[in-house]
A and B are shown apart, each in its own frame.
Chain A
């Protein structure tokens, strides 16, 4: 009953450090997403991958890179972390049901950049 699994749960980085957030889904979904959630801002899309082998920018892609490693895994990399990237990050995957599409979220990764 894993669904969408993301690691790490918590991370503290120093400004300028790099790190990768890992995400895997076991629902055989084609599409995967990375969002950030900040107080009062709702969920903002960073990058998404409509299908294996493709990635596209969302509304706040600056400072991030992504890799769709295979159908299951979609990672988010911060090359040089900045305090403005302090946020909660959610990975999600989307697939079709008999009725239509649905998106499911991981439990979140709390990132603090000092």
Chain B
């Protein structure tokens, strides 16, 4: 099945550093979603994007809907230990019920 290309696969960063990750697709999406998953839990929605070029923040998190509609970016500023987890992107094409997911970026923060 189709999956989104998400990079990087994993990141080890120092507390206080900024983090950037992205998802790319060969298809155009009209919805991009970003999730965080912690061990033993389900994915939790962080940010939803619905318009090309849209930039949306949620605290220290900022996500952007790419102009081409084929990519999206998530930035985390001033990382803290509780940012540890796996971050997933998801996209949905217009007129479909299915969501396509990235394989995740595993983030570890060193105090």
- Chain A interfacial positions (CB closer than 8 Å to B): 4, 31, 33, 40-45, 48, 50, 58-60, 90, 94, 97, 99-108
Shortest B7–chain A CB gap in Å is 13
Main SS class of interface, B? loop
Contacts of A106 in B (CB 8 A): 42
Digitize B1-27: 1 where CB-to-A-CB distance is under 8 Å, 0 elsewhere. Answer: 101000000000000000000000000
**Can you identify 30 A-B contacts, CB atoms within 8 angstroms?**
A4-B42, A42-B88, A42-B102, A42-B103, A43-B43, A43-B101, A45-B1, A48-B97, A48-B98, A50-B97, A58-B1, A58-B98, A59-B1, A90-B43, A94-B99, A97-B48, A99-B48, A100-B31, A100-B48, A101-B92, A102-B31, A102-B48, A103-B33, A103-B92, A104-B45, A105-B35, A105-B42, A105-B43, A107-B41, A108-B42
- Chain B interfacial positions (CB closer than 8 Å to A): 1, 3, 30-31, 33, 35, 40-45, 48, 50, 88, 90, 92, 97-99, 101-104
